[in-house]
Amino acid sequence: MNITTCIGLFVIISLKCFHAHAQFGQCPVRKVLTYNTALLDQPLSSGLPNNRLPRREAIINELRRLDADVACLQEVWIGQDVERIVSELSDMYSFSYSKLHIPGTLGGHLPDQSGPSMPPCDRYTATQFQRCVQRNRCMRRSYDNARTYSCINHHCFLQYKLLSQNCVSCMASSWQNIQTVVQKCVGVGLPGINMRTINTPGLLLLSKRPLINAKYSDFHPYTKELIERGYIEAETEDLGKFVCTHTTHNIPYYPEMELSRIGAFSTFTEQGRSERIELIQKFGHKNRLVLAGDFNVGDAFGPVINKDLPQEFNLLAKYFNVMPVKECTFCWPHVNIYTKSVEGKVQTIIDHVFHKGHKVVDMSRVIKPTDADLYGTFPLSDHNGVMATFSLC
């Protein structure tokens, strides 16, 4: 038997072993989920109840059913919701991380978020800001969001600057009316029972396996943001570097007053591009990486999908591999009633799992209104999730 024959037999035997290995389900896989939970208190759509607490419990059930190895959640703004999700799923996900966690080598420790805590807003500074907004009638009913923020920026910026980031984030995630903000965000300067804590970027990372050197980074650390944007990164055993993020969405007006005042950005498009470029600069050279989240950008995949800043999506796709799902993850109102306040018809794919150095077995849309709803009427969020399955063979 010559060397060529030996090599040929070795290749054939190796291929047969590989196929037999896969056929009997012995090839290990890792499932990664990204999901925007929309767990805030303000209405998700005009005239509809928010249902935050029952939606949270239903989302926990869906996370258990889907059984991902790693889950990157966005818009888990309220500390008590972070704690509830972490504690209820602790038997499945032994490791977790958010901005509220105490940093540690295996993913950090989450302090109790339900006991006495300092209020997000100091009563004096919040009262001064509230009085300025009311005095200048910035919340008048005839104003749309753009005119409201323009009014606040023009008349009350000095009062706004005195608010802490936690206070601004609490107001943004809790706003229904001024009474709800006072009740949930403003205190007297002393720890209060059940005063909410705030996970300012809304990110929560869950994992079945250790998260080594997990940490959170703010995209814009030296300014206060109405919506704080950043990312969690950690080293993992099987997937290499894992990054969970939520980059800026694109809307016509720009309410980030402090960022615009210092001349950093004038639009959300500019701000979002800077965030995505930072991800490329920091992680684009990695050989083994998973980058998951709500990126608020996407190209047109499928016959009825709308483009959403496709040039921004394609910029990321130059540096990271991606297999987008073929169905919308942020869908028309007739598909998801929580999006009915969106202007025009929206049918976009903006939730993605990018990667490098991995083999994709499957990429699917999950947590759809058709297979997970509340009371037979309401979806669990205004987004659907995306589940990526990677083969380790």
* Residue 214: CATH number of its domain: 3.60.10.10
Same domain, 336 and 314: yes
Here the tokens at position 161 are 């600057």
> Model-level pTM?
0.91
Burial of 270 (C-beta count, 10 Å sphere; 0-12/13-18/19+): middle
b/e sequence 272-296, b meaning 16+ C-beta within 10 Å: bbbbbebbeeebeebeebbbbbbbb
The answer to whether residue 297 sits within a structural domain is yes
Same domain, 262 and 387: yes
Per-residue pLDDT for 23 more than 60? no
Same domain, 262 and 380: yes
Same domain, 105 and 142: no
Residues facing 102 on adjacent strands: 109
HSE (side-chain half, CA atoms, 13 Å) at 205? 34
Angstrom distance (rounded) from CA 169 to CA 185? 9
Of 187, 210, 227, the domain-final residue? 187
**Alpha helices of the chain — where are they, by DSSP H?**
3-23, 52-66, 79-88, 123-135, 145-155, 157-161, 165-174, 178-185, 257-261, 268-283, 310-319
Q: Quote the number of domains for the chain.
A: 2
Check residue 55 and give its pLDDT.
96
Helices 145-155, 123-135: axis angle to 10 degrees equals: 110
Same domain, 367 and 227: yes
Q: Is 120 within 8 Å of 169 (Cβ atoms)?
A: yes
Torsion angle of the four alpha carbons 92, 52, 122, 197, in this order, in degrees rounded to the nearest 10: -10
Three-class SS state of 243 = strand
Check residue 2 and give its pLDDT.
54
Check residue 137 and give its pLDDT.
95
Same domain, 260 and 355: yes
Same domain, 78 and 219: yes
Same domain, 132 and 97: no
Q: Which domain holds residue 104?
A: 39-109+202-391
The answer to whether residue 34 sits within a structural domain is no
The answer to whether residue 31 sits within a structural domain is no
Angstrom distance (rounded) from CA 207 to CA 214? 11
How does pLDDT run across 212-259, given as a tens digit for each residue?
A: 999 999 999 999 999 999 999 999 999 999 999 999 998 889 999 999
Per-residue pLDDT for 80 more than 80? yes
Check residue 84 and give its pLDDT.
96
Instruction: Using pLDDT thresholds of 50, 70 and 90, give the confidence band for residue 25.
Output: low
Here the tokens at position 286 are 């990695």
Check residue 49 and give its pLDDT.
87
Same domain, 329 and 378: yes
Same domain, 99 and 128: no
| Long-range CB contact pairs, 146-149, < 8 A, 24+ | 146/252, 146/253, 149/253, 149/254, 149/255, 149/257
Angstrom distance (rounded) from CA 180 to CA 271? 30
Residues 6+ away with beta carbon under 8 Å from 44: 38, 50, 338, 382
The answer to whether residue 192 sits within a structural domain is no
The answer to whether residue 13 sits within a structural domain is no
Same domain, 243 and 354: yes
